[in-house]
Amino acid sequence: MQAEPQKEHKWLEQLVGEWVTEMEGSGGPDQPPVKHTGTETVRSLTVWVQCEGQMPGDVPMKTVMTLGYDPTKKKFVGTFIGSMMTNLWVYEGELDASGKMLTLDAEGPSFTDATKTAKYKDTIEILSPNHRTLSSRFQAEDGTWHHFMTAHYRRKT
């Protein structure tokens, strides 16, 4: 079986490279925001990209994201794992009409109550060939969506 790259696979190729990251996120209820800096290396696997992130600090964190496109589902698909969590996040999503914003849906432990699950949306937005963002939000029990993290990725030059 040999997969033929689609235009969506080519879209993912713009993520390939070496990146410097700056992330700001919620520290939790009644906590100040937390900030992290780090790096990310994105490699092409032809019809997939693999994103490996590192954030140094008192407790260094590592992350791995995979992204591809499933022509049968007509959806982007992927996974996310991090050294700071035990959940395997499974993504499914699509590009917006502009072709600059990929929204990935997932379900996992509730941001506010780990005994429950919640829906999440991670959005990758291409701002320029050398700058992109990743924003995350979760859906609360009342149905409202809450932003909790934004990361900026700038290509190393």
**Main-chain phi, psi angles of 99, to 5 degrees:** 75, 15
pLDDT digits (tens, 9 = 90+) for 39-58: 999 999 999 999 999 998 77
C-alpha 43/C-alpha 10 separation (Å) is 13
pLDDT digits (tens, 9 = 90+) for 75-125: 999 999 999 899 999 999 999 999 999 999 999 998 778 789 999 999 999
pLDDT on residue 113? 83
- DSSP-assigned letter for residue 8: H
Question: For residue 154, which of 128, 116, 119 has the smallest C-alpha distance?
Answer: 128
B/e letters for 33-69, b = 16+ CB within 10 Å, e = fewer, are eeebebebebeeeebbbbbebebeeeeebebebebbb
Question: For residue 125, which of 99, 146, 105 has the smallest C-alpha distance?
Answer: 99
pTM over 0.95: no
pLDDT on residue 34? 86
Which alpha helices (DSSP H) does 13-145 contain, by range? none
Q: List strand residue ranges (DSSP E) for the chain, in order.
A: 17-25, 34-44, 48-55, 61-70, 75-82, 89-95, 101-109, 117-128, 131-139, 145-155
The full set of domains in the chain, from first to last, is 7-23+33-155 (2.40.128.20)
